[in-house]
Amino acid sequence: MEIHQILSYFGALLIGLVLGLIGGGGSILTVPILVYLLLINPITATAYSLFVVGVTSLVGAIKNIQKGLVDFKTAFSFAIPAVVSVFLTRLYLVPAIPNQLFTIGDFTVTKNIAIMLFFAILMLFSSISMIKSKSENNLDPQKKLSYISLVFQALTIGLITGLVGAGGGFLIIPVLVLFARLPIKKAIATSLLIIAINSLIGFTGDIVNIDVDWPFLLIFTSISILGIFIGMYLSNFIEGRKLKKGFGWFVLIMGIYIIYKELTK
């Protein structure tokens, strides 16, 4: 086994570990690991990421269901429009994006570069959310907004998830608190079920467009799930919130690195 494969499997373990320790953020690492360590095409990498994120989130969601923390009514109210958006994005929008978008001087912005840059921008927003750390605990759930607004938010997040293959928990949780008026613990737990549904059904939109390396994908996902269980165990001894800000800085640096790497090809 080559060194980059060993590092990628270590990365898979890290994805699950972070999810288990801080309840989110780990999925933001999946695409960079697949693209830069395993040199997988970004389109295929975002598809693989949907599967990894979906299965690992499902494991967490099942645990939360057992604890009675998941609000099923809100989950499906949000997930139905979101999953339609994710599925259509993966099946029709992503394949329809031209391979070459535009040229600035000698620099040509390709489909792959655009997706990675968009992903990096998402990483920057995610990192800021984690670094600020006021986090969702300070969100005021008292203001009730319309169901139309909730559906619009779900469609938008579904589009983002479909484009970059990340779960988007840092976007979903505030929406559930502000729009659905869920307590923070239920919002976090419910978001995992939404992410699992969105990601796994979104992945089905890719099956007709890419050749899936199932042995690799299942091994990678299994290692990530192992990481979740390790993270959940360590969370009994380590304060996850204390790690969140440090992980946020790590994600920020990675986002900046991806922008630099893509713009200097």
pTM score, whole prediction:
0.83
Sequence ranges of the domains in the chain: 3-263
pLDDT of residue 244: 75
Q: Using one digit for the tens of pLDDT, what is the confidence trace for 220-246?
A: 999 999 988 888 788 778 766 667 788
Q: Are 165 and 31 in contact (CB under 8 A)?
A: yes
pLDDT of residue 219: 94
Does residue 127 have a pLDDT over 90? no
Comparison of pLDDT for 2 and 80, the residue scoring more: 80
Q: Using one digit for the tens of pLDDT, what is the confidence trace for 64-116?
A: 899 898 999 889 989 999 999 999 998 899 899 999 998 888 888 999 999 99
